[in-house]
Amino acid sequence: MIASTPVARWTWGRDDQHGDKIAACLHELLTAWAILERYQLAVGVPDVSVSVHEAGKPNSYLFKGNLVLETESSSPGVAQQLAGQVEAALLPGEIGAVHADAKNSTVVINGAYGIRENGVFQVGTSVILDYLGTDLVTFSDAWMPYDLKGRAQPSVHAANAPRLSAALLDLSEALRSETDPDEATHFGKPTETGVDSYLQEDGTASDVWSSFEVSYRYSEFTHAPGFDGIGFKRSAEGDVQYVPVLGEHGLLGYLWASDAEEAASFEPRDVGDDETYQSGLLWLDRLRSAHDRGLTPPKRCPT
């Protein structure tokens, strides 16, 4: 199962005198990526994004964008090639903090098969002054003895947990820093070798999916992002117009709108279902686009 927010996080860091912050950041990132790739925790060419802040102005960017890799190699030459892409587009100014992250798909072993899944890991590296730090985040429960719903998964755990444990050890060696497990999340408790599940007083595993993931997902359909809210409001007190949204397996939920309250959203039938959730997010994107084009809710949600 893949959560919307991190299940566990680990960090590594050291003081490092680097002349070229951008190249140092990208080299460290690709070094970490190569370790994940060794255990098929990362497969394929990674999607790399980089941000370069202006010194003394944390909200000012000299560069912010995605980079194009033409190879899966993590050699120093690739890091230099990527650094060249950034430097070619760099705005004038003194370089401050540099951050880069990479994500792609992961092979998760389930039984006799390996399934390629997206959104399982994200790895990032930052250079701040003379400190070089890397963090690894997982959004999956494949490394845990119990899944996020509290169900035992001995075969999944046995197939995947040793891969993560080996990667954490190798990352510590390659990044020349001890593995530092971050604080526990709503979903799991990271350790130096993996992730522990939450257990109740009677020894049974907790259903953290229902307790936290479902409520988080539902909040996306009832609260617009941003301090003042971006796009249509996502809740209404009065009557609304609505239409059903159907998927391959039946009713996913309802698209609704209120012109009087300038509100529109998607009401999921079962927000814990991935098909329903992803469909709902797609409709939120469409509603946001409609709002940006100046359309009123009923024009996007006819009766």
Kindly report, residue by residue over 40-75, the tens digit of the pLDDT: 999 988 899 999 999 998 889 999 999 877 665 556
**What is the mean predicted confidence (pLDDT) over 141-150?**
97
Residue-level pLDDT at 303: 42
- Determine the Cα–Cα distance for residues 106 and 89; give it in Å rounded to an integer: 31
Pairwise CA distance, residues 236 & 225, whole Å: 16
Least confident of 102-111, 128-137, 142-151: 102-111
What pLDDT digit, counting tens, does each position of 247-266 carry? 888 899 999 999 888 899 99
Mean pLDDT of the chain: 90
- What is the residue whose two structure tokens read 């880069």? 100
- Could you read off the pLDDT of 175-189 as tens digits, one per residue? 999 999 999 999 999
Average pLDDT over residues 195-209: 95
Region 76-85 average pLDDT: 85
To the nearest 10°, report the CA torsion of 96, 136, 29, 94: 0
pLDDT of residue 175: 96
Are the beta carbons of 100 and 29 closer than 8 angstroms?
A: yes
pLDDT in tens, 223-238: 887 665 678 889 999 9
Angle at 239 between CA 236 and CA 240, to 5 degrees: 75
- The answer, yes or no, to whether residue 3 has pLDDT greater than 90, is yes
Whole-number Å distance between alpha carbons of 292 and 186: 34
CA 126 – CA 13 distance, rounded (Å):
9
pLDDT in tens, 150-175: 999 999 999 999 999 999 999 999 99
Per-residue confidence band for 7, with pLDDT thresholds at 50, 70 and 90:
very high
Q: Mapping DSSP to helix (H, G, I), strand (E, B) and coil, where does residue 246 land?
A: strand
Bridge-based pairing state of the strands 250-258 and 241-247: antiparallel
Element spanning 300, H or E: helix 297-300
Residue 125: pLDDT over 60? yes
Residue with tokens 């892409």: 85
What is the three-class DSSP state of 177?
Answer: coil
- What's the pTM value of the predicted model, to 2 decimals? 0.85
